[in-house]
Structure 1
Amino acid sequence: MGDPEVHVRRLWRHRGAAVPGPRRGPQRQLDLDEILRIAIGIADRDGLAAVTTRSVAALIGKTAMALYPYVGTKEDMLALMQDHASAMPAWDDPEAGLPEALGAWAEALFEVYVAHPWLAERPWSQASQGPNEQDWLERLLRILDRWDVPPQARAVAVTTLYATVRATAGTAAAYAGLDRSGMEEWSARVAATRTVIPDFAERYPLSTSLQPVTPDWRAAPREALRESVRLLTRGLPGA
């Protein structure tokens, strides 16, 4: 990582932090938001592995070194992308109760992760500590506080909700990426398993009789998220 203070200033540039200009050479000619928009576009289209300072710079008509004064190292750039892509949309917290309020928060974050599937590839140990990601956590804690969830139960609720959103959104993104050939391959494996293991259902009676969350498999991740939130709130003290 480059200079930590400069990196934090870049993260918080829209919340009052001043970003220093280049120490030498021409003054800033590139826009950090535009750089991040291009980098996020690459990640959305081709995956996180395709994002390099070189690939981003090429689309701007610059060299990789020319980006350094704006984004820092590659890891700095990935953290900036992560926070930039995590901007929270506007919505009103439902008044009906805790399950509805948590459900609205979870589905809003779910949509962000579905729009940017690579966000789930970034481990929690690489949280950006930027303002947009912090907004999500603060909003969630305010919901728990408003509905009088005891402080000792909040950390578990936070971890469970984030993990569930990431997992279900990742599955939804994978489903969205399945084309006809992918479905045919999956169906062929199912048929082959039944042929090779004819007593499969007898060996695994509970697994094979498991009822789906919804008949529409593409909608299953979102519905699983909704049901998970309902289950979680039932177990929260004070809910």
Structure 2
Amino acid sequence: MVTNDEDAHVRRLWRHRGTTLPTPRRGPRQQLDLDDILDAGIAIADVDGLVAVSTRAVAARFGKTAMALYPYVGTKENLLALMQDHASALPTWENPATSLADALRAWAEALFGVCLAHPWLTERSWSQASQGPNEQDWLERLLEIFDAWDVPAEARPPALTMLYATVRATAATAAAYDRLDGREITEWTRHARATAAHVPDLGTRYPLSTGLAPLTPEWRDNPRAALLGAVRLVAAALGATDPHP
């Protein structure tokens, strides 16, 4: 059975796709805009992470109390889900018709960009999917690519799992790299040098892992390079046919 809270939350999620926002039956007339509230929460999360987001912190941006925010967003978990879908709005791009690899790369790079702009999105587990329209748009767009290139039905679930997981993991790593300061980089370098000094035969013990060539000359670019390499591997494994005319 759908509760009143669930009904209100779904109406908020789909407010730009045909549903009407719930309004309080009593009390003062609403003075805030839901999009503005979510933009404020996203701004906090972008700078300080999800740990800094609370109904109190968001409400304070408007000179309101946490309780005053409840009629607009519901619970804190509802607020986070609304923020998640709002921040996941699909950017505009054309699916390349040149190859499956090119089409998947365009999709993956677009999602990578959104996750990098809002690193806290990768902190939300798949079990916390918002079930909102913007997140649904990403899945539909990916399946449209699979459909256009005749990807077999049985290959689609594992392929989309690999693509989503790789985008999330590489974006999270890239964001972590961006947050590293000079002190942390120096500490990492010192640790590497100490390991080399105390374990001089590391290369002999682990010849394969120590022999891996870097993906790019600049280590900060490695997550994106890894993503693009993974996309090529997935596309090759799918063995898709020509797109429909």
What TM bracket, shorter-length normalisation?
Answer: over 0.9
Contact 1:153 1:237 in 2 (8 A): no
Kindly indicate whether the alpha-carbon contact (under 8 Å) linking 2:49 and 2:120 is maintained by their aligned counterparts in 1.
yes
User: 1:26 Cα deviation (Å)?
Assistant: 1.3
**Which residue of structure 1 aligns with residue 13 of structure 2?**
11
Displacement, 1:237? 4.0
Aligned to 1:218: 220
Post-superposition shift, 1:106? 0.3
Partner residue, 1:231: 233
Q: Which amino acid aligns with 1:223?
A: A
Match of 1:71 in 2: 73
- Does structure 1 retain, via aligned residues, the 8 Å contact 2:100–2:240? no
Listed one character per residue, the Cα deviations across residues 216-236 of structure 1 (whole Å, up to 9, x for unaligned) are 111111111111000011111
Structure 2, unpaired ranges of 5+? none
* SS in structure 2 of the partner of residue 19 of structure 1: coil
After TM superposition, the score normalised by the length of structure 1 is: 0.98
- Residue 159 in structure 1 maps to residue 158 in structure 2: no
Partner AA of 1:69 in structure 2: P
**How far apart are the structure 2 equivalents of 1:184 and 1:123?**
32
**Equivalent runs, 1:143-222 vs 2, <5 Å:** 143-222=145-224
Task: Indicate yes or no: 2:92 matched with 1:93.
Answer: no
> Residues 77-156 of structure 1: matches in 2 within 5 Å?
77-156=79-158
Name the CA distance, whole Å, in 1 between partners of 2:73 and 2:22: 12
Q: Which moved more, 1:69-78 or 1:53-62?
A: 53-62
1:22 paired to 2:16: no
Q: Secondary structure of 1:138's match?
A: helix
For 1:17, the aligned partner's letter is: T
Instruction: Between 163-172 and 188-197, report the one with greater CA deviation.
Output: 188-197
Deviation for aligned residue 1:238: 2.7
2: CA distance, partners of 1:43 / 1:2 = 28
Runs of 4+ in 1 over 3 A off after TM superposition: none
Using the alignment, how far apart are the partners of 1:2 and 1:172 within structure 2?
Answer: 40
Alpha-carbon distance between aligned partners in 2 of 1:119 and 1:34, rounded to the nearest angstrom = 19
- Distance in 1, matches of 2:163 and 2:102, equals 14
User: Percent of aligned positions with the same letter in both sequences?
Assistant: 64
Q: Please give the alpha-carbon distance, in whole angstroms, between the structure 2 residues aligned to 1:191 and 1:131.
A: 49
Supply the RMSD in Å over aligned alpha carbons. 1.1
Structure 1 Cα separation of the partners of residues 22 and 196 of structure 2: 64
d(CA) in 2 for partners of 1:142, 1:27: 43
Aligned residue identity for 1:198: P
Offset of residue 200 of structure 1:
1.4
Partners of 2:198 and 2:57 lie apart in 1 by 46
Q: Which amino acid aligns with 1:200?
A: L
Other-structure match for 2:54: 52
- In 2: Cα distance, 1:87 partner to 1:170 partner: 18
Distance 1:196 1:212 in 2: 23
Give the conservation status (yes or no) of the 8 Å contact 1:2–1:76: no
